[in-house]
Each structure stands twice: as C-alpha cells, then as structure tokens.
Amino acid sequence: MSVQFLGGHRWPRWRRSLGYYISVFGLCLVLAVACGGGSEPETVASDGRVAMGTTLRARTLDPADAYEIFPGILLYNLGDRLYTYAPGTTDLVPQLATEMPTVSADGLTYTISLREGVTLHDGSAFNAEVMAFSIQRFMDNGGRPAFLLSEKIETVTATGDYELTLVLKQPFAALTALLTFWGVTPVPPDAYTIGEGQFRPEDFIGTGPYRLASFSSDVIKLDANPDYWGEVPSNDGIDIQIFSSPANLYNTFRSGGLDVAYQTLDPDQIAALEREADQGEWAVIEAGSTVVNYMSLNQKIAPFDDLNVRKAVAAMVDRNIINERAFQGQAEPLYSLIPQSFDVHAPVFESAYGDVDYEQATEFLAAAGITEANPLEFEIWYPTASTTRSVVANTLKESIETNLAGLVNVQVSTAESATLWENVEKGIYPSVLSNWYPDYFDPDNFVQPFLSCSEGSVETLCERGSTQGNGSFYYSATANDLLAQQSAELDESVRNNLFKDLQQVMVADVPYIPLWQNKDYVFAASGVGGVAVEPNQQFLLWQISK
C-alpha cells in the first residue's frame, strides 16, 4: 500500500493530472468571475409587465377570509372599496361611493351613495345590491376578518339602485376608515355565495384596476384591467414571485431577476442594498410604517402583577440601542402604542420614564422590594422564527443586566409561533415581544385591541377580551369607558382628547411597553418608477411603470 502510494510511478502522474485539472478549473473560474455580471437573467419582464418578488404568502384571495398583509395588498389592487385614501396622503376620499357618508344624528345610520357605470371583471354591473351582498357575505361567512364588521354593523341594505344604508349596533366613529379595509370590496353574487365557510381562495372577481390572471402558492399574475372605470395602470401587469426565504429574495433581486423587491428582507440585507444603491442598479424607497412592536406584560403572574415592577421595566428599556443593534437604524423608537403617523400620538412613555432612565428604574424596583439580595428575575419570550426579536430580546437582556447588575436578571426564551400564541392567551408567559399590524388607519385600531376587556374585574383581571389575547390580561374600567366614548364620538377634537387620555392610562398602568415602529423598504431596479408605499401601508401596484 505504502509502496504504491509513495512509489515513483503513480504519484507523479496523479500529481500531474490533478494539477492539470486544478489549473483548468481555476482558469475557468477566473474567466467566469471576470466576465460575470454581463448577462441579464431572463426573469425580468422585458415588456410593460413588472416582475415583483416577496416572501409574503397569500393564503387566500377571498375578500371575506383574507386577513394578512399580502392578500390585503393584492385585494387592494384587484378590487375597489367604498372609501380609500388619496395616494400619498391619509385623506379619506370616496372610491365606489360618490361622496362621504351621511350619518344620522344618533350616529347609527350611514347612508352612502354609489358610483354608477362601474362593471365587475366578469362584465356584470356594480350597484347597491352587489355591495350589500358583498358586505353581508363578509360578515356571515365566518372568515378571519368577519368580526371587524359583524361586531359593528346590524344591517346592510340596498335602499336604492345606487344607495346603500348601513345600520350600526352602536355608534362607531371610525366606520368610514374601516370601510377602506381591503375585504370590503364588491364581488358578484352570481359567482360568490353567502354561507359559513363558503370561500373561493384561489379566485377573485371584483371591480379593480387589475384582473387576476393566475394564482398559485409560488407565482401570482395580475393583468391590467382594460375596462377599469378609474385611472388605468401604468403597467401591463404584475408578475409576483413568492420566495421561501429573505435570502432567496435578496439573491434574486441582486442578480437582476426582479424589478421590485418588497417585504421581507433582513436588516443586514436592507443595509447592504442601501449601501450599494449609489451604484445605480437599484433605488431604495423608504417609508414609515404603522406596524408597532411592544412588550406585553402579564399582570396575572409575578413579577408583573406589581405595578412598580412594570414601571421599572418601562424605565430600563433602551430603545435607541435596540434600534441600533437589531435594526441598524431601520426602525423608529416608539413611546406610545399609537404610532407617530397619527396627530394624536403622544410620546407618553418618554415623558414618564425617560429614554431609558436606570435611576428611576432603581427607585421603582426599590418600591417593589427588589434588592441585590432579592433581585428581579423575569423572562422575555418571543417566537422562534423571528430573528429580529431574538436580537431585541438579547439586547434588552444585555443592556439591563449591565446597567442594573445584581438587581435584575433577564432570561430570554423562545417558542415556536403557534405554541407561543396559544400559551400567551393562557397567561403562561410573564412577558412577550409582539407586534401589531393595523386593520384600518384610525387610532381606534391601536387602543381597542390593547386595552379593551369585555369580561373581567380589577380583582380577576381580564377573563375574556382583547387584552387576554395580547397576554397582558389588563382590566381597567376607566379604559373601557374611554374606549366606548371615543368609539361613539363624532366630534374629532373631542375624540382626539379621549385618545390622549387613553395614552395616559396606558402609561400609568403599563400593561405594555411600546418599543419600536417599523420602517418599510421597497427596492426597485433602475428604470422602474412610481414605486411607493402609502401612509396606510398599502402598495399601489398600478402606479409602477417601467
């Protein structure tokens, strides 16, 4: 064996041939790298169609069941709603309605006049019957977002060919904003049915600027609707590729395989694309977002059953260090659960607890009986799949334990998403890092889900209601009263004051600690224009041109 291996016959020949192959391979590699980048991948649309990539999933396109961001974006572009926002603003304007609704004095009846001459994608005419059917179906079919309307609307009736009347169960000031929700869009009664669980997940017929050309879990194609009643799209269609990971999306966009990359890239990938944007191959479009991220504190169990401990943790959170380390500056520190996009936003946590104030935190800890002999120990939980929340949790742990050494010990824990949310609702975790994607653009949607509790008491805390789902189990009669008042109040200035009071309630009781507000990023290849994210987080595909 050793003779053959080390002997004089095979060894030099082997060496020669191996050397030959390595040289040829190396030469090829060098040539390939040197010549690389010249060829354009063929996936980019060469005509007026736009190739877009995303990692977001479209579970369904049925407007009565779609409750996630991406189906929402698709439906927003495939359908129309009674009201919408003027592009680039937060101004509510009529879309399929002809004017803003007429509201009865008691705030319960909304009369809406509708646009004439609109046709659906199947050629049928749009009228009040179609709209009433679509709203009724939205409420009755038991889809995910059904509760948004079914909890508010008593009846929906076509009171004329082009007049719709909604009667509410109780006054709800944000109804017009709620009617901009993507699912409140007309569908033809001939093609859709009303009935529990009667959905068409892979199909859509509506009135919007695009028609659905094809739908699958990996590719979705939209064609411009030539018969659209409104502004015709600036492109011939959108071809959407769904990727299974941010890395695939990033690599494909960088290799020139996409015109537009939208959601969701990791902070490192966003930073890399931003750094290299000045080479002219792509443009970065940055927009504010209404997605709020927070820490939920469970008041049912120790240590957050103690108000002083909750206040202490609120004072020891360093939002700037989170933004720097976890997001590389791609987020905004948040000091209220009502995001900065609203005029009523007040940075109440900054005013009350400072922008991290360890001295104040120590005082609250002392009031709670926390000493070095009896340190505070608590767990922060987050979903396993969230890499950013992992960094946030560990950043919090490191900054708190460094600055309050001996006084506070933080344990970072993780659970798979479905398990985590099941346990949050059961009240198993003391604190959880969570986020909130709003359903509609109104401050109501940033207070109701966090503070309302339909069953409970100060003693038992929340036993049934939104705060249970959020894992805080917060119960406050004052908060419930203020929520009911703002919901019914039609006078905007009075309502704004109520939102300010609600933010004060939040800062006084600390059921949650607001942490950061996301920024939204879109990347557009050179030669692609009209790419923008709207203030209400919608992505208007019909504005994209190339």
Q: Considering only residues 471-490, where is the footprint of another protein by CB under 8 A?
A: 471
CA distances from 270 to 182, 247, 286, 330, 483 (A): 28, 11, 10, 9, 38
Which residue, 46 or 402, has its beta carbon nearer to another protein?
A: 46
27 binds another protein (CB under 8 A): no
| Of positions 196, 278, 372, 459, contacts another protein by CB under 8 A | 196
Q: How many residues bind another protein (CB under 8 A)?
A: 79
526 touches another protein by CB under 8 A? no
- Please tell me what DSSP assigns to residue 240: E
**How far is the C-alpha of 50 from the C-alpha of 222, rounded, in Å?**
10
Stretch of 308-316, 349-357, 415-423, 538-546 contacting another protein, by CB under 8 A: 415-423
Q: How does DSSP classify residue 244?
A: S
Q: How far is the CB of 415 from another protein (least distance, A)?
A: 8
**Residues within window 246-305 making contact with another protein, judged by CB under 8 A:** 247-249, 251-252, 254-257
Q: Tell how strand 408-415 and strand 83-85 pair up.
A: unpaired
Up-side HSE of residue 284: CA atoms within 13 Å toward CB? 18
Tokens of 324: 């720097």
Q: Kindly tell me which residue out of 98, 102, 104, 216 binds another protein, with binding defined by CB under 8 A.
A: 216
Amino acid at 338: I
The closest of 457, 481, 454 to 469, measured between CA atoms, is 454
| CA 391/CA 353 separation, integer angstroms | 23
Half-sphere exposure of residue 318, counting CA atoms within 13 Å on the CB side?
19
Query: Residue 527 to residues 250, 252, 461: CA-CA distances in angstroms?
Result: 19, 17, 57
Is 386 a binding residue for another protein by CB under 8 A? The answer is no
371 binds another protein (CB under 8 A): no
- Interface residue with another protein, options 117, 123, 218, 373 (CB under 8 A): 218
Residues between 144 and 173 with contacts to another protein, criterion CB under 8 A: 144, 146-147, 151
To another protein, the closest distance from the beta carbon of 297 in angstroms equals: 16
Pairing state between β 219-224 and 210-215: antiparallel
- Name the minimum Å distance from CB 61 to another protein: 9
Region near another protein per CB under 8 A, out of 181-189, 266-274, 329-337, 410-418: 410-418
Cis peptide upstream of residue 460 (ω within 30 degrees of 0): no
User: Which residue among 8, 36, 117, 280 contacts another protein (CB under 8 A)?
Assistant: 36
| Nearest alpha-carbon partner for 58 in 50, 45, 47, 69 | 69
Nearer to another protein, 5 or 226 (CB): 5
Residues 6 or more apart whose Cβ sits within 8 Å of residue 174 = 440, 442, 444, 445, 487
- Residue from 142, 288, 375, 530 touching another protein (CB under 8 A): that is 142
Question: Smallest distance, Å, CB 9 to another protein?
Answer: 11
Quick check: 183 binds another protein (CB under 8 A)? no
Which of 116, 231, 377, 422 is the binder for another protein (CB under 8 A)?
422
CB of 51 to another protein, least distance (A): 5
Judged by CB under 8 A, does residue 417 bind another protein?
yes
CB of 151 to another protein, least distance (A): 8
| 180 neighbors 83 (Cβ within 8 angstroms) | yes
Among 421, 488, 504, 526, binds another protein (CB under 8 A): 421
SS3 297: strand
Q: What is the dihedral of CA 364, 369, 372, 373, to 10 degrees?
A: -170
- Residues 103, 111, 217, 295: which binds another protein (CB under 8 A)? 217
CB of 31 to another protein, least distance (A): 10
Q: Which is nearer to another protein, 67 or 76 (CB)?
A: 67
* One residue of 63, 79, 94, 143 binding another protein per CB under 8 A: 143
Q: Is 415:447 a contact under the CB 8 Å cutoff?
A: no
